Amino acid sequence: MAADTPTRLRFAVLGAGAIGTWIGAALAESGADVTLVARGAHLDALVRDGARLVSADGERTVPVRAVQDTGQVGPVDVVILAVKVHDVVAAGPALQGLLGPDTTVVAAQNGVPYWQFHGRADDGASTRLESIDPGGAVSALLPPERILGCVVYLGASILAPGVVATRPEAGLILGEPDGTSSPRLEQVARALEHAGFPVRRTADIRAEIWTKLMGNASINLVSVLTRAGLGTMVNDAGTGPIVATLMREVVEIAGAAGARPQISVDERLRITARLGDHKSSTLQDLEAGKRLELDALGAAVIEVADAVGVAAPMLRAVYALADLQARTLGLR
C-alpha cells in the first residue's frame, strides 16, 4: 500500500447536519465508501442534488449516498457520530443498524463525554454521569470500548436543505480514550486527512476535550443569557470577568479529574476576544428554536465537579440561569 493511500473503510455518518454533512461529503469526494444518515428536507436535497459545500473559495457539489433507514446500510467499519449528546439514546435504533462486532464509533460531539471516568484509576473512576448517561442507557447502547474520541474545530452551518457553509479552522483531533496509538486510530486519521481535513493524533484526548470545554462551558452558557457574540462577551467590562472566572473553574475541574487543558485562560480569552460578533453554537441553536446542549456543556461539568470535589460557584450560578432560560423557552 502506498504511504499516502488510506486503508479503505466503510463509513457512515449518523447525524448528517452541518458538520456531519461536510465530513461525509469530503470523505465521499476522496473516494471513501460513506453513507450519510439524515432526515427530512435535508435528506431529500442530499438524495436529489448531492451535498453543496459553500466556502470562501467558492462552492462545489458532491454526489453522496444518503438514507434515513440504516437498515439499508448495515454494519460499517466506522460510524462518525455527529448527533448531539442529548440525542444519542433516541438515535439508538439507527445506530444499532450500523454496528458490527468491530465497528468503531468516532464521537464528534461537544461537551463532557459519557466515558469521562471509564477505565480511569483516579478518584471517581466508577462515576456514571447521569446528566449525559441517564440510567446507563448510553453506555449500554454504546460500550465505551467502541469509542474513538474526537474534538472538532470546524465551523459549519446549514444555509438551506443540502447546502452547508464551511469555515475551516484547526481541524480534527483524534485519540483513544486509553491513550494508546492504535491501528484504528491511524486508519481513521489517514482517511480523514485524505479527505482534506487537518488531523492531529493525541495520547490525551480528555485534555483536548476539556481544552474545548474551557470555551463551551463558559462562553456558550453566557451566550444563552446575553445573546451576544463571542468577542462581545469577552470584551465587555461586565461579562468579560464572568467568562474568565468560568474558564478558571473549568480548568480547576479538569485538573482535579486528571485532564490538563492545553491552553491558558489568558490565551483562550485573547483568541476569543478577536472573534467579534461570531455566535456560539448554543446561541445559534437557541435562535433556531432547537434543544440546547446544556446537559453536556453544563450539567455534566457540574457532575464532574461534584465527583472530584470542586466548588465551581460561578459555573453553578450561570448554569442555573441558562437552564431556567432554556426551560422557559421550551428548549430543554
pLDDT digits (tens, 9 = 90+) for 134-171: 999 999 999 999 999 999 999 899 999 999 999 888 99
pLDDT digits (tens, 9 = 90+) for 269-288: 999 999 888 899 999 999 99
pLDDT at 283: 96
Instruction: Calculate the CA dihedral of residues 246, 252, 255, 259 and round it to 10 degrees.
Output: -10
Contact 208, 95 (CB under 8 A): no
Contacts of 291 (CB under 8 A, 6+ apart): 84, 86, 285, 331, 332
The residues pairing with 60 across neighbouring beta strands, listed in sequence order, are 53
Q: Hey, what amino acid is at 172?
A: L
Domain boundaries, the chain: 10-203, 207-328
Instruction: Calculate the CA dihedral of residues 92, 94, 96, 100 and round it to 10 degrees.
Output: -150
Provide mean pLDDT across the span 22-45: 97
Q: What percent of the chain has pLDDT over 70?
A: 96
How far is it, in rounded angstroms, from Cα 214 to Cα 192?
A: 26
In CATH terms, are 10-203 and 207-328 the same topology? no
What does CATH list as the number for 10-203? 3.40.50.720
Pairing mode, strands 10-14 and 51-55: unpaired
Kindly tell me if the per-residue pLDDT of 99 is higher than 60. yes
Which residues are identified as catalytic? 212
**Global pTM value:** 0.93
CB atoms under 10 Å from CB of 105, counted, come to 21
Confidence of residue 242 (pLDDT cuts 50, 70, 90): very high
| CATH class of the 207-328 domain in this structure | mainly alpha
